[in-house]
Chains A and B, each alone.
Chain A
Amino acid sequence: MDKTIKNLAIGLIALIILAPLGLLAVGETFGEWGNEELQEKLGFVPSGLERLSSLWSAPLPDYAFSGGDESMTVSAAAYILSAAIGVAICGGLLYLIGKKVAKD
């Protein structure tokens, strides 16, 4: 394998392992409030927002195992697993598509 590609891939694996650092940041994100947060902020939840917000149930919501009240260790494991799944699917999918369409 090309040396530069190999080193970039190693960097990516390091990022997967370090991903739980992203869990340390606590706080809200503008425009990504949940219904309870909106209730607190506004005193109501906009009705269209409330209807659409429950449209989709993701299998691993917020990169965590469903349930929510997990210890930091479990959260970190779920986060690393999510990163690994993301890398495998994104990388794998584009590798396959790329191989199919690429020319020399």
Chain B
Amino acid sequence: MHIPDGYLGPYTYIAMWIIMIPIWYYAGRKLSSELKSKQVPLLALAAAFSFVIMMFNIPIPGGSTGHAVGAAIIGIVLGPWAGVIAISVALVLQALMFGDGGITAIAANCFNMAVVMPFVAYYTYKLISGSTEITSSRRVIASGIAGYVSLSLAAAVTGFEFGIQPLLHHTAEGVPLYMPYSLNVTVPAMVLEHVLGFGILEALVTALIFAYIQRTDTSMLYGEKSAAQKMKRAKASTA
């Protein structure tokens, strides 16, 4: 899903930078006002994890390869705004140092994988979890579905960005200048391989890590109070 340099024309990649700069700014502000010392190691692990999990290419029938992003579990555990920062750092490093994803396309790739994914995942998880107990097994299922839906939707957005290129940029004779395939090819291609393949991997990764954290330390989860804080609150309300 890492768009290389040259696939998006200037209208699209510049527009994506204009969209991303305020998002990064706001995410940074939000992180510095809400981050607690206890979460710092988890934030560092999240960015590192996202970097590595994207190196695990898997093949799917049809000869295509791809990977999970790890963005769904990060959005659920750290909250979507912290997810924006953690995943963006991984994507920028991949582009600069390893040529995975283009320089001009950094903003587009960050929008697709570091914004669409953690937000869609977080709200899908919240919606399906409802008011169930934090230890409920329904939340494990919810996290898995969140992983699946968020990766598939990010793929659709990427397909859309690809597919509008022939409309935006072509020669007088109609020869495309950037991504040559249009929406009727790019959207189905991107969506299908993620719905049938990589989305399942993202779902498994998300549910597995969620189940582990749920069984060991639920106070790590975004928006959850620690047991000590809960007890204090309960005491305060009975007093």
Interface of A with B (CB < 8 Å)? 1-5, 7-9, 12, 15-16, 18-19, 21-32, 38, 42, 44, 46-53, 55-63, 79, 82-83, 85-95, 98-99, 101-104
Pair B48/A87 contact, Cβ less than 8 Å: yes
Whether B178 and A83, one on each chain, are in contact in the complex, defined by CB atoms closer than 8 angstroms, is: no
Question: Chain B nearest CB: distance from A61 CB in Å?
Answer: 4
Stretch at the interface among B54-62, B126-134, B141-149: B54-62
In Å, the complex CA distance between A19 and B58 comes to: 11
Whole-angstrom distance between the alpha carbons of A16 and B54 in the complex?
11
Q: Is B189 at the interface (CB under 8 A from chain A)?
A: yes
Q: What residues of chain B lie closer than 8 Å to A27, measured between beta carbons?
A: 59, 63-65
CA distance A60 to B98 in the complex (A): 5
Within 8 A of A (CB), among B12-58: 31-32, 35-53, 55-58
Separation of A16 and B175 alpha carbons in the complex (Å): 43
Report the bound CA distance from A57 to B46 in whole Å.
27
Across-interface contacts of B122 in A (CB, < 8 A): none
Contact A46 B45 (CB under 8 A): no
Contacting residues, chain A, for B152 (C-beta < 8 A): none
B185 to chain A, nearest CB (A): 9
Number of interface residues, chain B, beta carbon within 8 A: 72
Determine whether B183 belongs to the interface, using a CB cutoff of 8 Å to chain A.
no
Per the bound structure, the CA–CA distance linking A26 and B43 in Å amounts to: 32
Interface string of B177-190 (1 = CB under 8 A from A): 11110000010011
Q: Is the CB of B56 within 8 A of A99?
A: no
Instruction: Give the CA-CA distance A79 to B140 in the complex, in Å.
Output: 32
* B211 proximal to A (CB < 8 A): no
Distance of A81 from chain B, by nearest CB (Å): 11
Enumerate chain A residues within 8 angstroms of B99, measured Cβ to Cβ: 56-58, 60-62
CB contacts (< 8 Å) of A4 on chain B: these are 212-213, 216-217, 220
Kindly list chain B residues whose C-beta atoms are within 8 Å of the C-beta of A79: 55
A30 near B44 with CB under 8 A, answer: no
Of all chain B residues, which has the CB nearest A50? B6
Interface flag for B89 (CB, 8 Å): yes
Interface segment among B100-108, B113-121, B231-239: the answer is: B100-108
Contact of B45 among A8, A18, A29, A86 (CB under 8 A): A8
B8 to chain A, nearest CB (A): 9
Beta-carbon contact of A5 and B45 below 8 Å: yes
Q: How far is the CA of A79 from the CA of B32 in the complex (A)?
A: 33
A57 CA / B216 CA spacing, docked (Å): 44
Residues on B with C-beta less than 8 A from A7 are 212, 216
Pair B56/A22 contact, Cβ less than 8 Å = yes
**A94: B residues at CB distance < 8 A:** 40, 43-44, 46-47, 85-86, 89
In the bound complex, residues from chain B placing their C-beta under 8 Å from that of A59 are 97
Contact B97 A28 (CB under 8 A): no
Query: Measured between C-beta atoms, what is the minimum distance from B139 to chain A in Å?
Result: 17
Within 8 A of A (CB), among B164-206: 169, 175-180, 186, 189-190, 193
The listed residue (A31, A42, A57) touching B186 by CB distance below 8 A is A31
